[in-house]
């Protein structure tokens, strides 16, 4: 399959939103992943990959329930974050006069993505035999500290905070979904889309599209936990600051956000 056709297929919102059975959803994603992998293999290498090889023998067994629990808990966390974003944009778009006409198209598209993510995560959890968590009740003022639906600048501030949180949270849960390759692939695909959202919203606030030295860019102190730890400049023993400077070195690598930290951030807006 031509790689451009694959990319075109993935850019189609219907890939995640078409009404199919849960089994079909997982099957479609699995098939897509296999085709994408083949399309990305350099000419000639595919022959080598097709040659049977002897699998490694592992002597240490880990109960399947361990992996399933880690997997489903990661998906439940992702669902909570997607609920938060989806509801936030839904209210924002439904608030007359809040979002300027020039920006509405952007948030309408982001909203479609978040809705698709919610649907996918709920379907996947159900397919795994787990009941998806219900959408929490949200207080986007965080106890009266924000007024996002009457002040567009504050709406953008929280949109950036939520998107930046989502990017780091998905990365932080990668290890917990590795037991299921289909889910891992979908999570990575969602992660990259969330990163595009974050970059877009950051630029709408006249910020750079990336994070430098744990500085969110003209963000209130209440959002500091979203960016804590982003000032790391050493990667796999290599000091990126030495070659490029601390700001560029830290910006070149996103840091993970633990599940507990992501939960704490989301909890500020849950009642």
Domain architecture of the chain: domains with CATH: 64-208+256-268 (1.20.1260.10)
pLDDT of residue 62: 41
Q: How confident is the model at residue 50 (pLDDT cuts 50, 70, 90)?
A: very low
Per-chain mean pLDDT for the chain: 82
Query: Quick check: 81 and 267 in contact, CB under 8 A?
Result: no
Query: Quick check: 227 and 215 in contact, CB under 8 A?
Result: yes
pLDDT at 4 over 90: no
pLDDT of residue 244: 86
Over residues 173-193, mean pLDDT = 93
Strand partners, 238: 235
Over residues 63-72, mean pLDDT = 69
Q: What single string gives the DSSP state of each residue in the chain?
A: --HHHHHHHHTSTHHHHS---HHHHHHHHHHHHHHHHHHHSPTTHHHHHHS--PPPP------HHHHHHHHHHHHHHHHHHHHHHHHHHHHHHHSTTTS-HHHHHHHHHHHHHHHHHHHHHHHHHHHTT-PPPPPPPB-TTTTTT--TTT-HHHHHHHHHHHHHHHHHHHHHTHHHHTT-HHHHHHHHHHHHHHHHHHHHHHHHTT--SS-BTTB-SS--GGGHHHHTTTT--EETTEEHHHHH-HHHHHHTSPPP--HHHHHHHHHTTB-
pLDDT at 6 over 60: no
- CB contact set of 220 (below 8 Å; sequence gap of 6+): 157
pLDDT of residue 116: 97
The span from the first CA to the last CA of the chain, in angstroms, equals: 48
Q: How confident is the model at residue 87 (pLDDT cuts 50, 70, 90)?
A: very high
pLDDT of residue 64: 47
pTM for this predicted structure: 0.75
Q: pLDDT by residue (tens digit) across 100-152?
A: 999 999 999 999 999 999 999 999 999 999 999 999 999 999 999 999 999 99
pLDDT of residue 154: 98
Tell which residue, 189, 141, 173, 193, has the closest CA to residue 256: 173
pLDDT of residue 218: 92
Share of the chain above pLDDT 70, in %: 75
Residue 44 φ/ψ, nearest 5 degrees: 100, -30
pLDDT at 46 over 80: no
Q: How confident is the model at residue 67 (pLDDT cuts 50, 70, 90)?
A: low
pLDDT at 38 over 90: no
pLDDT of residue 105: 97
């Amino acid at each position: 399959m031509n790689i451009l056709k694959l990319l075109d297929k993935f850019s189609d919102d219907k890939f995640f939103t078409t009404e199919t059975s849960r089994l079909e959803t997982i099957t479609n994603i699995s098939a897509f992943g296999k085709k994408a992998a083949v399309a990305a293999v350099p000419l000639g290498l595919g022959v080598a990959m097709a040659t049977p090889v002897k699998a490694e023998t592992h002597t240490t067994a880990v109960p399947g329930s361990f992996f399933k629990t880690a997997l489903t808990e990661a998906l439940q966390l992702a669902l909570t974050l997607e609920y938060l974003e989806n509801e936030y944009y839904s209210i924002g778009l439904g608030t007359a006069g809040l979002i300027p006409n020039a920006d509405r198209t952007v948030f309408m598209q982001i909203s479609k993505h978040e809705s698709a993510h919610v649907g996918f995560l709920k379907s996947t959890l159900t397919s795994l035999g787990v009941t998806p968590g219900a959408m929490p009740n949200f207080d986007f003022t965080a106890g009266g500290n924000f007024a996002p639906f009457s002040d567009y600048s504050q709406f953008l501030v929280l949109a950036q905070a939520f998107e930046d949180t989502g990017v780091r949270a998905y990365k932080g849960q990668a290890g917990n979904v590795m037991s299921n390759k289909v889910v891992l692939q979908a999570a990575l695909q969602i992660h990259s889309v969330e990163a595009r959202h974050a970059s877009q919203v950051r630029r709408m606030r006249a910020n750079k599209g990336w994070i430098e030295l744990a500085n969110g860019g003209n963000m209130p102190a209440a959002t500091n936990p979203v960016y804590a730890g982003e000032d790391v400049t050493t990667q796999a023993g290599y000091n990126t600051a030495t070659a490029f400077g601390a700001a560029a070195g830290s910006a070149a690598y996103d840091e993970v956000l633990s599940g507990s930290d992501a939960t704490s951030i989301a909890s500020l807006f849950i009642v």
